[in-house]
Structure 1
């Protein structure tokens, strides 16, 4: 009985122990950083010897290790160590003059399930495989020989089985473009096992199967980091922080993080871009010149509804999911905005894909796969414009969204389009509708040459979750007869947004009194956006 009581009183938990300073610590950036990391920092006007890059003070780490049960990892960026400890040890640590603060670690995440289809795809699955890159204008990148060449991408995930053997990645292995790997939970270099989620994600960035691209950045370089452990739901935060510092050191220009972290002790109102250490790290990575591309999460149809962290970070691209068969937001994709009303998602991509699994091709769904599609897109943009600063790269990807400057909290600015980077006058589109105010009502009328009366028979939009029952994409991919409407208030966030299926010329009407005062209305239809002030 005595031992049971002792265990309950001093049960082990994970904590961050933050230090006060790095006094007298030495650092040489030219010995520490990869050449690409130095080049990236110079482009982004970030110092090479920033205090966040200095190592921790060894005497502080040693003193903590003598008190706690185990020091798990260190973070230079936040001058802290992650430890296994208990309440009595925490009490002692708080009395040390070099301990600034302590914080309990309590984030968790889940990896996406998938369905194995082997290498022989059905016709509709082959169409999806082609469409997942074509939807972003991948053929235009191909035409201009843009494929992410020379851009270094880090992938944080649960494992990469078969990446070292699968034909989907042969072109990458052949040219030695897997630069480094690290398994953070096991503290070893082997990542070629464990959960196949990372393999699928990587294929959506750069895979090629039977000559068909699965992602756009087929000539990029890669850093593969295993950060997730299914059996240890509270281990990932310290692994993510260790991985982002490792990626920075080794010259990553883009990070794909296909997982959103949530917390039993947090609420949606905590997703404000400042609460978690992961979101702070994502924003700091952006300051250091790294574009973080993160999935919004798959809670859109659940109780949570909104994004996990670090998708709430203000300086990263947060990616929503669309349904290829409706070309709209897919029901599981988490919604924005952030708790402090910032625009999220930034852009969207297919949330249903064909990917390379552990041994075969798989069909799978989740914003976990929307994110790598956009990461590959961003890699192509960076190849075309190698001197772009990270925030300019982020803005350019947003502006390439087909709905831009319209946005909403389901789609962001829409699906990025390669055409934005090649076509002149890419922000000037022909007017596709008229508006009028009559009897205190705002009317939206589709112009004759942009209205197809035979659309009436297609207005019933169906959503699917079973790949075996999908109609052919060719039957539904053209259903872009959607009118987008939002009302933005004077604080620059949305009071309301709607998507209207257009089956008559008088597409939409709304009483002016429902809009309110000091509001901005934006209406988007077939590439044209009109803005009205009320």
Structure 2
């Protein structure tokens, strides 16, 4: 298991499973055994306390809340272990997971056992999550099969240049923000080839794959199932210069399988909820979810447009809570724009998240991109990015093109990571606000692309009016970064751009809470790099501010 800021993957999942050791998934039983979300009446008897969140949240999760002045509430507490034991004591009931936010348990049982569970004094109600048998019928997600390769448009980025350049991510990278120190959880249907394709090799070489978990099968095996997740991940994490570079090639990732591509039932929304709680506990900054729900396999009940109000769909309610605890949720708007449904799908209707539509390389909305508004009249999608003929990496490492808001979502999520890295003192909601204000339709948002196509430089300048980042000056800052990142020992170096050479520098390092932990004056030098001397640093995320006269840059690094 990979340690996550002091709390291991196993520990996080132990809490999610009701504070008992992680055990193999119960064997699938044929017949009438189904999964149900069993809601408890309260959290009486929990051994945890909101005054001591370290028993169920990682230090990074607590710090994320503290940075944004978000209180830890009773909803964050794990469910009562006594209630979990009462459910387990009912013959035939198999507890798969528990949900802190919904105060519930995912239980597999038949209808007779469910009646017994509903009679327990600790149970408030129950909802059936999957009604059909495995492998019955699955509606397509609308993403088209990738077409053949074509000639690269730019040398370093390969085919990924246009989608990155469109939202200012190329300028963002030149300014030194590639997602360093940011953590992104990716929810999808599978990640085959991520452990073998060259575009993902840096994830392992630089130890930036923080954790994996398969919520469908209840194990850590994610390099399997559907390749959709691999393709979506590549638009952010791909890092093969000269072939393909994603929008957040230096971020740290958590890979979560929540989607069962063989069927479509609300149990996958429950998996989304569980993965979001897991991401919260791990201290994740951003969730990238290229998933959407509106119609289900028979006999599960479809949503209606009236349900798309941000308060009804299970996944939308989960996404809203994820936003309330300080994570920034980026979700695909849906591919229903040309269908009879037309509108966004859940959880894209959720409040306080970024729902992403799709445009082509000419900035024109793709016909399949779902539209707004939500049933209660809110603007959706919020923003748009390239989702038509988007460059993606296949499990075999080849670079192809594909269509779908599934791709515009992570393309933008990677830029969100770099923007937040550049502005670490912003809250998640402030990040959304600045990105929307930078959009191509910021003054006249509509129901097709929301606030339009955002731009990193414009958003950065809105957030930093006193020290704007000129697009023409971005290239001059290209080589200013800290390495190694993450850092294990004590050696830390600052790579200098031309504008930061031969001038005195002031280097300040802040911890995750914003406290100054080190300050150093660097004498003028023509060397390409200088060694920093921050002293002994504890494990965590640090922000380094480098000042050269009126010029100032901020980069993040991680101490393992």
Over 3 Å counting, the alpha-carbon distance change for 1:122 and 1:34 in structure 2 is: same
Verify the 8 A CA contact 1:112 1:197 in the aligned structure 2: no
- Counterparts of residues 332-351 of structure 1 (less than 5 Å): 332-351=368-387
- Counterparts of residues 424-503 of structure 1 (less than 5 Å): none
Q: CA deviation at 1:30?
A: 1.8
Q: CA deviation at 1:31?
A: 3.6
Matched residue, 2:248: 217
Matched residue, 1:418: 456
Matched residue, 1:22: 43
Matched residue, 1:58: 81
Matched, 1:317 2:354: yes
Q: CA deviation at 1:113?
A: 4.7
Q: 1:166 aligns with which of 197, 216, 231?
A: 197
Q: Segments of 4+ in structure 1 off by > 4 A?
A: 106-114, 123-128, 422-427
Verify the 8 A CA contact 2:208 2:253 in the aligned structure 1: yes
Matched residue, 1:499: none
Q: 1:230 aligns with which of 253, 261, 265?
A: 261
Matched residue, 1:373: 411
TM-score by length of 1: 0.73
Matched residue, 1:245: 277
Matched residue, 2:311: 274
Secondary structure of 1:131's partner? helix
Matched, 1:121 2:158: no
Over 3 Å counting, the alpha-carbon distance change for 1:424 and 1:321 in structure 2 is: closer
Q: Deviations over 1:399-432 (max 9, x none)?
A: 11121121111111111111213547999xxxxx
Secondary structure of 1:155's partner? strand
Over 3 Å counting, the alpha-carbon distance change for 1:210 and 1:24 in structure 2 is: same
Q: Deviations over 1:178-210 (max 9, x none)?
A: 011111112211211221111111111121234
CA separation in 2, counterparts of 1:426 and 1:146? Answer: 15
Verify the 8 A CA contact 2:158 2:245 in the aligned structure 1: no
Matched residue, 1:180: 211
CA separation in 2, counterparts of 1:361 and 1:224? Answer: 21
Verify the 8 A CA contact 2:45 2:82 in the aligned structure 1: no
Verify the 8 A CA contact 1:420 1:426 in the aligned structure 2: no
Q: Deviations over 1:293-349 (max 9, x none)?
A: 00001111111111111100011100001122x421101111110000011000000
Over 3 Å counting, the alpha-carbon distance change for 1:81 and 1:425 in structure 2 is: closer
CA separation in 1, counterparts of 2:234 and 2:43? Answer: 41
Verify the 8 A CA contact 2:319 2:353 in the aligned structure 1: yes
CA separation in 2, counterparts of 1:243 and 1:147? Answer: 25
Matched residue, 1:136: 167
Q: CA deviation at 1:368?
A: 0.3
* RMSD over aligned Cα atoms: 2.4
CA separation in 1, counterparts of 2:241 and 2:423? Answer: 30
Over 3 Å counting, the alpha-carbon distance change for 1:167 and 1:51 in structure 2 is: same
Verify the 8 A CA contact 2:151 2:159 in the aligned structure 1: no
Worse-superposed segment, 408-417 or 261-270: 261-270
Verify the 8 A CA contact 2:159 2:243 in the aligned structure 1: no
Q: 1:302 aligns with which of 336, 339, 350?
A: 339
Worse-superposed segment, 390-399 or 126-135: 126-135
Matched, 1:389 2:449: no
Verify the 8 A CA contact 2:178 2:418 in the aligned structure 1: yes
Runs of 5+ unmatched residues, structure 1: 1-9, 428-534
Matched residue, 1:75: 99
Secondary structure of 1:388's partner? coil
Matched residue, 1:202: 233
CA separation in 1, counterparts of 2:250 and 2:69? Answer: 27
Verify the 8 A CA contact 1:293 1:316 in the aligned structure 2: yes
Over 3 Å counting, the alpha-carbon distance change for 1:209 and 1:188 in structure 2 is: same
Over 3 Å counting, the alpha-carbon distance change for 1:89 and 1:424 in structure 2 is: closer
CA separation in 1, counterparts of 2:171 and 2:196? Answer: 30
CA separation in 1, counterparts of 2:399 and 2:108? Answer: 40
Runs of 5+ unmatched residues, structure 2: 1-30, 132-137, 296-300, 466-560
Over 3 Å counting, the alpha-carbon distance change for 1:394 and 1:422 in structure 2 is: closer
Q: Deviations over 1:351-374 (max 9, x none)?
A: 121111110222111000010011
CA separation in 2, counterparts of 1:270 and 1:409? Answer: 18
CA separation in 1, counterparts of 2:243 and 2:218? Answer: 35
Q: Deviations over 1:200-252 (max 9, x none)?
A: 11111121234355422111111111111112422312211111111111110
Over 3 Å counting, the alpha-carbon distance change for 1:329 and 1:188 in structure 2 is: same
CA separation in 2, counterparts of 1:178 and 1:242? Answer: 20
Secondary structure of 2:160's partner? helix
Secondary structure of 1:293's partner? strand
Verify the 8 A CA contact 1:296 1:318 in the aligned structure 2: yes
Q: CA deviation at 1:82?
A: 1.7
Matched, 1:261 2:282: no
Verify the 8 A CA contact 2:435 2:459 in the aligned structure 1: no
Verify the 8 A CA contact 1:52 1:78 in the aligned structure 2: yes
Q: CA deviation at 1:40?
A: 0.4
